[in-house]
Every structure is written in C-alpha cells, then in structure tokens.
C-alpha cells in the first residue's frame, strides 16, 4: 500500500476512535443525569479540583449501583437485617477514637461527611479528620441512641468531649459537643454514603462556609476562651446529654454529701455559699460547720477527708460533696455531739444547668435561675415537681471573680436521654 494511502487509513481510524469515545461519553453522561437523584450522592459544594475530575467516574459507578438496587434491593432496610446493621454500626462507633478505629469498609470510598466545621468527600478525608481529633484533643465519644429515620437512613445521638493541649492553652479548656449524625446507606453496597453531623448548640446546621453561618466557629471559640476555672478537686460525675447555646442538660450519678442548715429557712444562698455566714446576721456559719466535719474537728473519729467541689446551697441548706470512695452513709463518721451535720445521698438524675461567672450574689443567682427556667420551658422540658433549684459554687473567695465558675441547677423529670431530637428539616438538609 502506498505511503499516502497508509497515512489516510491511519487518520480515518484515529477519527473513528475519537468519534466512538465521544458517543460513549455522551451516552454515559445521559445515563448519569437520568439516574434517580435519591440514589446519587450529590457532589459537595467546594469540592477540590481533583475530586471534580473524578466525578464522572464515580457518577457512572453510582448510576450502575442505582440501576442494580432498583431491581435487587428491598425497598427498605428492616427486620433482622436492620437490627444486625444497627448493632454493627453501634459497636463500630465505640472505636471512633481508640486504637482500633472505625471499620472503613462500612463506608463508601467517596462518602460525603459534613459537620459545622469540616467537609470531606471521601473516606480518606473523613479518617484524616478523626485521626487529627484523636491525636490533638484526646476526645471521648458516647453514643446514646441509634434509630432508623428513613428507608435507608440511620441516625445517632451522641456526646463528644475534647481536652485542648496544655500549651498554648494554659487554662486547659474542655470542649463539649452534643448532637446527632444522620447517615445515608447505599442499598446496593450496604455502605454509608452520606454522614451529616449536627450540634445542639447552634441553629444553622451544615458546613459553615456552605451555610454562611459563623455559629459553629463562634461556639468553638466561646468554649476555648471560657476562662472560668474549676479547681483540680474531685467533683460529682455527670454526663452532658445536651449542650445548648445557653445551658446544659446533665445526667448525674448518685453521690454523698455532708449537709447542714443555713441560719434560717430562706436565708441567702449566695451569702451561705460565699462562705461568709448564714445570711441572716446570726453567728452560725454553715460553711465552717461543714469544713470542721470533713477536716476532722467536727466528727467523732477525727477522720480527715479530701476537699471536693462544688459547694451546693439551696434554700435552708448547704452541702459539701464527699469523696467518691464513700458509697454509703454508714461509712462516714458520725458528727460530734451538737454539730448539726448529717450525711445523705443525692440520687442521680437529670438536671438542667446554667453556668455563670463572677460573684454569685443573690441577684446574680436569681437572674440565672429565672433565665434557666425560661429556657427549659421554651425547649419543652419539665421541672420536677417540688424540686428546689440549687446554686453550685466551685471556687474559693481568693479566685478572681471573672474566673469563678457558678452553676444554677434544676432537676428535670421525664427526660428521655435516648430521644434523638433531630433538628427540624435536618434530614432534607443531610440529603441535599
């Protein structure tokens, strides 16, 4: 074959090859856009250029999975399959921040993760975020509930606590977040393809650059730069179930207290808790009485106990928390004759708590209580009938007022710790 003819033949083959590629591309593009949107993972806003280049390939895979799932997958995850899947997911999440870590095989390679601070469009980014949190903040994660919230959707409720490193945060702030995770499952692969986190402390959910809301960033900085100090003393153990913008819902374990009266029923809580006397002008000093008991001068055996925090005051009484090594009132020495102290058990339970700094004057404590009661009413929570509010003071009088931590607490009834409380409209947002 002459050279010119061979060249023309190669050119035609080259054109034909490119034509076939173009037609195939058009067919694939049409197929991608025609796939049911509910079975496709939307490309996240702000994805990296590399991710954008991978999108056609991922879209083709999703389109094929969607087509397959419509014919071979059930319409809903249910029955034994649902129970087994929830059990597996719940167990896996217990390893979120430990050495084992979560099972990446439970997630699509291009899983979309979003919370108020971060956004990733693949499993590697998601795992990187988890590793960063684990190595920098030593977080703890507690899952309270997991439920099915859609045909192929599970949601969890959780609490996460993080400790910032000592340097440069010499005041050692502790960050607490509560919220939910809405996870969409691919019916074809039984893997999580979307993971959308919410925080209870903010109203506008979603990645802050996408939502154009600074709430998430502001919440983090408010917690970091909370300069109130809690002494390095034992305190009653509790779990934060809800952290809202203005207050917390806490579940306390039972603990023992040494209790005495204030000078008169209805005497000043702030004066008594401020360690200055009973608040009615008498010489009786409830703080000194309790201090004498725990330091040995006021009990019959002379036993000395470790100081704890906080000091609780409510109308008519003051309480010192006793060390947790004591689990029953019978383990405590009796007070000396004439010393008005009794040891009693405070039952565990759920409390609403509002924190404030400064000197806990009567006016400040009353204002905090009124605000807390308004907040829990707004949020549909119920104060336990007949339960008096309590003022908790954590610091000695030498602590500068801006660094003092004070809590007003109200016991709640009927609070369901496992209730999801998904924010309104969050499922639609998670699927967008």
Which is it for strands 107-114 and 191-199: parallel, antiparallel or unpaired? parallel
Looking at the structure, do residues 178 and 290 belong to the same domain, yes or no? no
Does 176 reside within a domain? yes
Residue 360 near residue 274, CB atoms below 8 Å? yes
Q: Which residue, of 173, 195, 221, is where some domain finishes?
A: 221
Looking at the structure, do residues 374 and 262 belong to the same domain, yes or no? yes
Looking at the structure, do residues 397 and 268 belong to the same domain, yes or no? yes
Does 228 reside within a domain? no
Looking at the structure, do residues 288 and 322 belong to the same domain, yes or no? yes
Looking at the structure, do residues 400 and 304 belong to the same domain, yes or no? yes
Does 145 reside within a domain? yes
- Phi/psi of residue 234, nearest 5 degrees: -65, 140
CA angle 257, 258, 259 (to 5 degrees): 105
CATH number of the domain encompassing residue 256: 3.20.80.10
Does 2 reside within a domain? no
Looking at the structure, do residues 358 and 242 belong to the same domain, yes or no? yes
- pLDDT < 70 stretches in the chain: 1-72, 263-282
Whether the ω angle into residue 142 lies within 30 degrees of 0, i.e. cis, is no
How far apart CA 429 and CA 230 sit, in angstroms, is 38
Q: How high is the mean pLDDT of the chain?
A: 84
Which position has the token pair 């090859």?
Answer: 17
Looking at the structure, do residues 264 and 213 belong to the same domain, yes or no? no
Query: Three-state DSSP class for 82?
Result: helix
Q: What are the start-end ranges of the E strands in 94-203?
A: 107-114, 119-120, 140-150, 153-163, 174-186, 191-199
pTM of the entire predicted model: 0.80
Nearest C-alpha neighbor of 69 from the set 193, 171, 163: 193
Q: In what order do the strands lie in the sheet with 191-199?
A: 119-120, 107-114, 191-199, 174-186, 153-163, 140-150
Question: 321 is in which domain, residue-wise?
Answer: 238-411
Find all residues with CB under 8 Å of 343, minimum gap 6, and list them: 256, 257, 258, 259, 322, 329, 332
Query: Three-state DSSP class for 243?
Result: strand
Per the structure, the count of domains in the chain is: 2
Query: So what's the pLDDT on residue 282?
Result: 61
Query: So what's the pLDDT on residue 166?
Result: 79
Looking at the structure, do residues 101 and 194 belong to the same domain, yes or no? yes
Residue 150 near residue 413, CB atoms below 8 Å? no
Looking at the structure, do residues 381 and 327 belong to the same domain, yes or no? yes
Query: So what's the pLDDT on residue 19?
Result: 40
Find all residues with CB under 8 Å of 423, minimum gap 6, and list them: 180, 198, 205
Can you give the three-state secondary structure of 367-427, one letter per residue? HHHHHHHHHHHHCCCCECCCCCCEEEECCCCCCCHHHECEEEEEEECCCCCCCCCCCCCHH
Tokens of 145: 């509930």
Query: Three-state DSSP class for 201?
Result: coil
Looking at the structure, do residues 245 and 210 belong to the same domain, yes or no? no
Query: So what's the pLDDT on residue 10?
Result: 53
């Amino acid at each position: 074959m002459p050279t010119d003819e061979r060249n023309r033949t190669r050119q035609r083959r080259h054109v034909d090859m490119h034509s076939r590629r173009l037609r195939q591309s058009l067919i694939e593009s049409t197929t991608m856009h025609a796939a049911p949107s509910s079975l496709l993972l939307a490309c996240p806003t702000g994805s990296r250029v590399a991710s954008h280049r991978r999108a056609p390939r991922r879209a083709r895979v999703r389109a094929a999975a969607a087509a397959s799932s419509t014919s071979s997958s059930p319409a809903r995850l249910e029955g034994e399959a649902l129970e087994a899947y929830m059990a597996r997911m719940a167990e896996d999440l217990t390893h979120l921040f430990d050495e084992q870590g979560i099972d990446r095989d439970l997630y699509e390679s291009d899983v979309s993760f979003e919370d108020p601070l971060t956004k990733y469009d693949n499993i590697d980014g998601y795992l990187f975020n988890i590793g960063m949190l684990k190595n920098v903040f030593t977080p703890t994660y507690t899952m309270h509930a997991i439920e099915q919230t859609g045909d192929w959707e599970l949601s969890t409720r959780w609490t996460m606590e993080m400790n910032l490193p000592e340097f440069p945060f010499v005041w050692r702030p502790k960050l607490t977040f509560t919220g939910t995770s809405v996870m969409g499952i691919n019916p074809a692969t039984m893997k999580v393809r979307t993971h959308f986190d919410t925080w209870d402390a903010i109203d506008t959910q979603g990645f802050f650059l996408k939502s154009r809301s600074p709430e998430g960033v502001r919440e983090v900085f408010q917690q970091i730069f909370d300069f109130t100090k809690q002494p390095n003393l034992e305190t009653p153990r509790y779990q934060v179930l809800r952290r809202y913008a203005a207050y917390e819902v806490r579940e306390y374990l039972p603990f023992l207290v040494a209790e005495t009266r204030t000078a008169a029923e209805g005497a000043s809580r702030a004066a008594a808790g401020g360690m200055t006397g009973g608040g009615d002008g008498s010489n009786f000093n409830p703080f000194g009485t309790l201090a004498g008991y725990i330091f040995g001068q006021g009990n019959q055996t002379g036993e000395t106990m470790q100081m704890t925090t906080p000091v609780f005051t409510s109308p008519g009484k003051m309480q010192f928390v006793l060390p947790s090594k004591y689990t029953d009132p019978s383990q405590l020495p009796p007070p000396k004759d004439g010393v008005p102290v009794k040891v009693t058990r405070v039952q565990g339970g759920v409390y609403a708590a509002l924190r404030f700094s400064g000197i806990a004057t009567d006016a400040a404590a009353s204002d905090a209580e009124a605000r807390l009661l308004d907040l829990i009413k707004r949020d549909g929570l119920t104060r336990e009938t007949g339960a008096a509010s309590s003022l908790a003071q954590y610091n000695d009088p030498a602590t500068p007022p801006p660094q003092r931590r004070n809590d007003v607490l109200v016991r709640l009834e009927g609070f369901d710790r496992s209730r999801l409380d998904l924010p309104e409209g969050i499922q639609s947002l998670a699927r967008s």
